[in-house]
Structures are given as C-alpha cells and as structure tokens.
Chains A and B, each alone.
Chain A
C-alpha cells in the first residue's frame, strides 16, 4: 500500500486523465513555441549573415512570427485546461470528503471544532493546487526539457548533454533545495509563528488591562522577541533558498557558455554548420523557462502533501478506498420502537479511551426527565454524546437511542421551514407551526417577514440566543426520536429565560411522552425533573468525574449541603 498521502487521496479527486494529458500537451506546445522562437530566430540571423536570397529566409521568418503568436495562444488554453482539471478535482474532493465523513463515522467530533472546519476548506484548495502548480508544470517541464535537449543534441550531442546537465541543476537540484528551505522555515518557524500570533492576539485583546497593570511594554518586548525568532528561522531557510535562486540564475548562462565551448571548435573543424552553431548556442537562452516554475512546484507539492495528510485524518481509519464502517450503534435513524427510553449501565464516557466521566447508571422512561447537573468539565456533554451513539462508550453499555440536541446546533442558511425539515423531510407547514407553538415561538413566527419561508442563518434573519434555543428544541420535537438528549439548553440566556426553557422542556416531555435527558449547570429549574444526577470530582487529581449524588431536586436540596447552597445563591435576586 502506498503511504504518500497525496496518492492515497487521489481517488477522491476523480481525476480524468485525458483532461490532464490535454493540459500537459497545451503546456508543452507553449514551451515548444518559446524554444522554437529562439531556435528559429538564431537560425534566421546566422543564415541572414551569409546574405542569401531573401526567399531562403521566408520560411524561418514565418516560423518566428508563428511561434511568437502561438505561444500566448497555447498558454491561455493551457491555463484554462489545467485550472479546469484542478477545479473539478476540488469539487469532487469536497463532495467525496463530505460523503465519507458523513457516512463513515469518521472523526465528526473533530469537525465540531470551528478552526478545523475552516482548515478543511483551505486544505482542499491546497490539494487542488497541486494539479495547477506542481503536476502539470512538472510533466510539461519533463517533456519540453527533453525535447529541447534532443533538438540541441541532434546538432551536437555533447552540447545536448551540457544542456541536460544544466536543466537537471535548475529542474531538480534547485527545486529540491527550495522545498527543503521552505520545509525548514515552516517547521522551525511554526512555533515562532504561533507565538507571534498568540502574543499579538493577547496584546490586542488584553491591551487595556496591560496598560493599567503596567505590563504593556513587557508584552511588546515579548512580541518583538518572538518576531525575532521567526526572522531567524526565515533567515536560516533563506540561506538554502538563496543557493537555489543562485543555481537557477547562473545555470542558463552556464549552459550557453558550455555550448559555446563545445560548439566553436566543432564549427571551426567543420563538424557543425554556422547556422547550427547559432541554434546550439542561442536556444538554451529560451529553454530555461521550462524549469522556472519548478522550485515553486516543489514547495507546493510538499504543502499539498501536508494538506492531504490532514484531510486523511478526518476519514475513517480504514482509508478512503475501504467501505465506510458503521458507527458503534447507528446514530439517529428512525427510533427503534421496542426500546422506548434509554438506559446506561456502568458507562464511562470520554475520548481516545480516556474517560472524562465514569460509572454512570441511568434509566430514563418515556414521559420522564433525568437531569445531569454539575460544574463545567464534569463530562455532561461527553456523556450525552455517548448516550446518543455519537461517541463509543469507553466502558459499560448504552441501551436505546436518543437524539443529541447540541447547545450549538446548526441553523442552516435556508428557510425556517427547511431548517425544521432537517429533523424529518416530510414535515408539513401545520406540523411546523404546531412545534413552534409548543416552544412558545408563535409570536416570533408571526413577526417574521415571510413566516416559515423566512431565510435564517448566515446572511438571513438574525435569531436571538433565546429564540435559537427554542428553535432547536422545536426541531428536536419534530424528529421521529422518542428520546431527546438536550445539552445546556439555557447556556448564555439570562436566568429567567433559562429557567423557563428548562421547565418548558420538562413539560413537553410529560405531555408528549418523550424521554428526556437534560444537562444543565443551572440548578433552580431542575425541580421539575424526575431525577437529578449530580456529577463531580471527588478531589483525586486526574480521576474521571463520577455521580456524586442522585435523587429528586427536593432530595438533593435536603441531603447535599453544597447543592442547597448553590441553589440558594442562584435564587438571590439580580
């Protein structure tokens, strides 16, 4: 199995090779025109100096002009052709990545992180760029370079070899050095670059308090020092890339010199015609255009490979060509009617086999509500994700299926109705209105300019925090699932709206016969829940959180002093 990430990712690009061949052919023709122009002009001038009848020159004159015109024409077509190949590849890659990640239970948890999402877009572009900036220029350089060597070699084989050697310098050594330099700058500069960014952000975000505390000058000095480290890393790389640039600039003249040294004796000995000597000497001046893009191509190739590696990490571990594996137990899906409700037996939940919360037993029946309480970091969200089947339990058993309702659930850039239809494709307008009414959004709906047809999300109507939470609950109610796992429904809401929302959820569970597990760091509204599990740490550093107390809200108020105190503090008037 090939381990180059670019090669492994290649099937997902669905490259159509005839299109690639077409782009390479056009690129080669471009360079044929460039080299042909130089060779024909050299022949023309040398022949003209022998003062032949003008007619003898007419073919060469037409050739020179044709090459001069053709070059721009072919170049234009080549750029279009290679960009077309790249864009097709990017579109296919994006769609394939989406499908694999969606079906394959790939690293969706990683996708929850915003920065990663933004990076996927950039990485896809980088992998696509490899076509335009590396593969096609590389192939063109090989074909056109060897063609030029053959042209010169036909007249004087040794000169051909000199040209080949110089082309290897600029086409292989120089790109290799450039790539090595850029790799070292990126590797050594990455830490410095990260520090520069972090320090810049800190200065900008905390600048005012740093002024007051008198630490501003100190932090400015820190930024300057980090920038100096970055400059040093760049400088080291520039030492190598400087050599690469020097080779590139000197090799052309070197090739001309070599051809002169070999050509002059041959011409004087009569082995090489005067016109041929001019072609042999002057053609190399144009040939090196073939390799000018290669250092950048090598750098791009390395960058694209790194991007491909990151994209592969998103895919299921079996690799992109293997069939997608099923998730631990099918998440979502239409609920299994036999197992209404949900039970967790001795479940430990966490990431990469490290439990965040352990030894949780929990049963929730239709129409009842279990609340998870506890400080942030106690593993409430992790436990809910595990209960929803979106993350495999580290230990224990999950029976039943639930719908995870994330605190940051996504509103798509489409209409309100389509956003609700994410829950189920066949929702009617009446059902949508009913669900919105159940969460108290009737008035809000009436105030929308186009009712259910109003666009939401990016570029659409702004939705306030409270409305958004209610909307997410309404969408969950429309799904076929009988068990809802609701994460912090009241986060970032003021106390009154937060409590109202949790109480509404409890009421909905009782009215519609759904089983609900709700995680909340506010305790006051949990009075309506049937059972409260208080998660927390027992003080052992590094140990996973556990259920430190359980019972009804009233029980906990009565039995757990900390709980009573915390509820009392929440109740203090604002």
Chain B
C-alpha cells in the first residue's frame, strides 16, 4: 500500500537541505515552548478560578487570598504574551525558512538536472523538471509553514499534556490514552474501505473537467464555424455531472475528518463529565479538575489541525519525493584529463554508436571519421558538413563532438601532434574542451543583458568589428527595428526575439569571439530561417572559415553542402535483436 511508504517528514530533506534542518530545530523548540505555555495557562486559570468558585458558592465564606489570585493572574498575562510571541516567531521565521528551503531545493534540482546532460532519463527531462521546480516546489511552502509545525506540535504538546493530566488525574489521562490510538485506526479503516471508490470518482471528475476544457479550448474553432451556441448546454450538463461526482467523493473524503472530530470531542466531553461526577464524591479537588478541563482539548488540538492540513502534506511530500527523485538520478561522472589545444588538431570518431532513446535504432551507427581542425590562421579554416536523412543521428553526433553525450560504443578522441597521447572526450575535463568551442544550437540562449553585452560576451570589442559582424550575420536589420539599437535589453525582462533573430545574435556572438573559440558547431542553422536568413548563414560560415576556424555544421541544403571542405555521412541502423 502506498500509505505505508509515505513518511510525514522526508529524512532526505533534513540531510540535504541545511535551511530545513535549522527550521525543524526552531519549530521543535517553539513546540516545546508552546506546550509549556499551554500547561502554565491551564494552571493559572485553575488556580485563579477555583478559590473564587469555592468562596462564592453557597456556604462559602466569600473570602479569598487576593495576593495569590493576583499572582496567578499575572502568570496568565505572561502566558498570553508568551503565546503571542511563539505564534509570531513561528509565522515570522517559518515563512522565511520555507522560502529558503524551497530556493535551496530548487537550485539543487536545477543544477543536477542540467548536469544530467542533453538526454536525461524519463522523469528528469527539462519540461518535467521545470514543472517541478516552479509550480511543484511551491507546494512545499504550505507543507512547511502549516503542516510541519502542527506535526511537531502533535509530537511535543500531545504527550506533554497527557503526562501533565496523568499527574493531575489518572482517570482522565487513561481516557485520552485509550482514545488517541483510535484516531489513526479509524482513519486508516475508513481510508482502506473507501480508497477504491474515491479514486474511481476522482477519475470521473477529471474526465468531466477535461471535456469542459476541451470545449473551451475549441471555442475559437466553433466560433469560426458559427457553431458556438449549442455546446453551452453541454458545458452546463458536464458541470452538473462533475458536481455530482465530486460530492460523491467528498461524502467519503469528509468521513475521516468527521470521525477524527467525533472521537476527539467526545473524549473531551467524557473527561469533563467524569471529572464532574468525581468532584461530587470528592474524588478530585477543584483546582486539578479545572486544569484538566482546560487541558483536555489541548491534547487533541494539534492532532485535529494535522488532520485539517493533511492535503498540504500530501502535495508537499509528493513534491519533495519528486525533487529527490531527480537528485537521486546518477549524473555521468566528470572526466579529469586535460584537453590539448584544438587548433591544428584532429577529432577522431572511432566506431561510434549511440542507441536512440525509445527506438530500436542506432543513430549514428558505427561511425568512423577523422575531422581535421583548422589552423587558426587566415585561410587555414575548415568547414565540415554532417549529412544524412532526418533521424540518422546528426544532432546526436553534434552532442558527441561537444562532449555533452558519451557514445554507447566506440569513442570520440581529440588528437594533437604534441602531446602524442590522444584524449578521449569521455575522460576529458569538459570545461577545457568547451572553452575552445562556440556552439550555435537551433534555439540559442540569449541574455539577459543588452544586445551589445550578449554579442561581446563581456569582452572589449571595437565598434567597427561589431558592425562588421552585424552586417555579415544580418543582425543589422534586426537592430534597425529595435528602438535602442545595440543598447536594447534582451532576454529576461527585455525585448522578446524570434528564433530567427536569436539565431542572428548568436551567430554574431560566435563571429566576434573568433580567436578564443576556434571550433564552431552549428546545428541545423537553416531549419527555421526563410530564404534571406539562409544567405546570412552562408556568409557567416564563410567568414569563420576565412578567419581560420573550424565550422562543424549540420547541413540540410545544397547551398551549405557546397561550402564544405569535408562531408561526414551519418547513418542510422536498425538494431537486430540477437
């Protein structure tokens, strides 16, 4: 059963998130303080009230020890201040800690997801991790702010109060101790009996909801056809059906809450009546009787609030479990061998094979090639085209050459005349290789910053070089449409750029950063470009080659292929099961 696997507090959260540890410690401390205050308050009320009740009762003498009463009233005022202070601290620091825990976890999850590489396993793909890291982890806040403190309070206040009651009146303590285990038992019983029904009903509710959304999503289409009026009645009918199904679920879901409430309130009532009846026979003094009366609801208070925040816990725990699911996915271990200079070297593909995800295909399959890299001197450049039908593994090959992906079989090696020992990219220090490579992917990352900052990448570049690069890459026409030209902010919070415009910015950046990144990798640069944009790419590739750089380009069109000094044919092969 799933229930048994769910722990109310994931130990990994305490192990790996420092902010969570200090928060739990603080909350536990405040829990102890609030338990103490509950007890103090009960004693103060009982001691202040009891003598007056006795004195004012028929046959009482109407005289009380006023200083004693005043002392207890002062204690009570202190308890009021103390309770306010504890609640303030819990709210004040609870929220702060919760945001820190979420931020910490988000950072770890995002960093780890990126480290998993371009082909992460199911459950850790960017879209999935993005949902988790933004919306999903937000569910942790109510869990941390509301559920967890109540859970810790239950762990501290409930036993402490029971112990105090035991000291005052063992019969009342016995009643409470007998009732307490009944609460989880009945909740479990109801949960087991109704699990199937409510899940079936929930599925119905979701299906009905999806149908309504489908109709709303199709509204523009219906309107285009002039057929939008009819489905209104259908939306209404679906809503009514959804309400009936939901009410069915709720009737069951609220049952466990009702049982929890019935057991706890009835228990308080039984304790009160029991105390009253024993008072008549002198079985208990008035002061402990009043204290027990005030304390009895506090035994169950935190437990009831845990119950009412239960949904916050399930959402929060689910988010935590998914976050650690990502963090526990092993990332490829980074290599450490230093990488030689790329200029004048050779990239050797040695019988390289990558199994395509979820397809019985090797793409690329058993690919061997020697790619000579440019000399870095003007005229010594190289254009290497990767050619093959779609699905043959060209993009995969790009990831291999970048060292982002490791081949399932074979190896990718960077060889230099000096030192003679070639370095397998799988064992190489990736940062050393990446610092020599400029990669312009299909959808380049831009910003945040001004166009100028993005293109220069923080280096000092003369304006003439920038303008020349802008002319070559077609960035000049993009700049003409931007109000502030080179100083226009782009990326986060800036002007949104289309894919074509982003690509021109990225091309210009790779063009300006000539010397320090001698290898340029272009992935399908013409896929999203119109005919004019393609010419820009051709010009840019020529400019790179003229500067002595090596351009590795996934080529789809003849125009680009015609530029190539070397063509690498990429093929996929179906896997034959032996």
Provide the A195-230 mask, 1 if CB < 8 A to any CB of B, else 0. 111111111111111111111100010111001101
* B340 close to chain A: CB less than 8 A: no
The residue on B at minimum CB distance from A91 is B239
Measured between alpha carbons, how far is A260 from B93 in the docked complex, in Å?
33
* A84 close to chain B: CB less than 8 A: yes
Provide the A289-320 mask, 1 if CB < 8 A to any CB of B, else 0. 00000000000000000000000000000000
Measured between alpha carbons, how far is A134 from B80 in the docked complex, in Å?
28
Total number of residue pairs linking A and B with CB closer than 8 Å: 428
The residue on B at minimum CB distance from A257 is B76
The residue on A at minimum CB distance from B69 is A264
Q: Are A234 and B95 in contact (CB under 8 A)?
A: yes
Segment at the interface with B among A60-68, A352-360, A436-444, A505-513:
A60-68
Interface centre among B73, B215, B258, B444 (most CB of A within 10 A): B258
The residue on A at minimum CB distance from B41 is A253
Given contacts A111-B220, A541-B480, contact A249 B87 (CB under 8 A): yes
Query: Chain B residues near A84 (CB, 8 Å)?
Result: 243, 247
B interface residue count range (under 10 / 10 to 19 / 20 to 34 / 35 or more): 35 or more
Query: Chain B residues near A527 (CB, 8 Å)?
Result: none
Chain A nearest CB, measured from B271 CB (Å): 9
Q: Are A108 and B219 in contact (CB under 8 A)?
A: yes
> CB < 8 Å: which of B117, B231, B530 contacts A98?
B231
Query: Chain B residues near A239 (CB, 8 Å)?
Result: 92
Q: Are A214 and B434 in contact (CB under 8 A)?
A: yes
Q: Are A108 and B223 in contact (CB under 8 A)?
A: yes
* A176 close to chain B: CB less than 8 A: no
Q: Are B126 and A204 in contact (CB under 8 A)?
A: yes
Measured between alpha carbons, how far is A434 from B268 in the docked complex, in Å?
76
Enumerate B55-85 residues with CB–CB distance to A below 8 Å.
55-60, 62, 64, 69, 73, 76-77, 79-81, 83-85
Chain A nearest CB, measured from B256 CB (Å): 10
Measured between alpha carbons, how far is A60 from B255 in the docked complex, in Å?
29
Measured between alpha carbons, how far is A235 from B45 in the docked complex, in Å?
36
Measured between alpha carbons, how far is A33 from B99 in the docked complex, in Å?
39
Interface centre among B110, B240, B457 (most CB of A within 10 A): B110
Q: Are A207 and B279 in contact (CB under 8 A)?
A: no
Query: Chain B residues near A202 (CB, 8 Å)?
Result: 445, 491-492
Q: Are A230 and B99 in contact (CB under 8 A)?
A: yes
Measured between alpha carbons, how far is A255 from B258 in the docked complex, in Å?
29
Q: Are A209 and B444 in contact (CB under 8 A)?
A: yes
Chain A nearest CB, measured from B31 CB (Å): 14
* A325 close to chain B: CB less than 8 A: no
* B53 close to chain A: CB less than 8 A: yes
Given contacts A68-B270, A195-B493, contact A208 B114 (CB under 8 A): yes
Query: Chain A residues near B76 (CB, 8 Å)?
Result: 253, 256-257, 260
Q: Are B113 and A204 in contact (CB under 8 A)?
A: yes
> CB < 8 Å: which of A60, A67, A245, A569 contacts B276?
A60
Query: Chain A residues near B277 (CB, 8 Å)?
Result: 48, 54, 57, 61
Measured between alpha carbons, how far is A87 from B52 in the docked complex, in Å?
52
Segment at the interface with A among B7-15, B205-213, B407-415:
B205-213
Q: Are A210 and B445 in contact (CB under 8 A)?
A: yes
Q: Are B218 and A212 in contact (CB under 8 A)?
A: no
Given contacts A49-B54, A49-B57, A98-B235, contact A201 B134 (CB under 8 A): yes
Q: Are B99 and A212 in contact (CB under 8 A)?
A: no
Given contacts A230-B99, A238-B92, contact A212 B224 (CB under 8 A): no
Q: Are A99 and B232 in contact (CB under 8 A)?
A: yes
Given contacts A210-B445, A260-B48, contact A242 B254 (CB under 8 A): no
Interface centre among A198, A204, A211, A228 (most CB of B within 10 A): A204
Q: What are 13 A-B residue pairs whose CB atoms fall within 8 Å in the complex? A: A48-B277, A111-B216, A198-B492, A201-B130, A202-B492, A203-B114, A205-B443, A210-B445, A212-B439, A224-B107, A278-B53, A282-B45, A404-B224
Given contacts A204-B114, A245-B87, A422-B225, 13 further A-B contacts (CB under 8 A): A41-B276, A48-B276, A48-B277, A102-B231, A103-B229, A204-B130, A205-B445, A220-B111, A249-B83, A257-B73, A260-B45, A274-B57, A406-B221
Taking beta carbons and an 8 Å cutoff, which residues of B are in contact with A? 41, 45, 48-50, 52-60, 62, 64, 69, 73, 76-77, 79-81, 83-96, 98-100, 103, 106-107, 110-111, 113-114, 117-118, 126, 129-130, 133-134, 209-232, 235-236, 239-240, 242-243, 246-247, 250-251, 254-255, 257-259, 261-262, 265-266, 268-270, 272-273, 275-277, 279-280, 282, 286, 289-290, 293-294, 297, 399, 402, 404, 430-431, 434-435, 437-439, 441, 443-445, 448, 457, 480-481, 483, 491-493, 498, 530-532, 534-535, 556-559
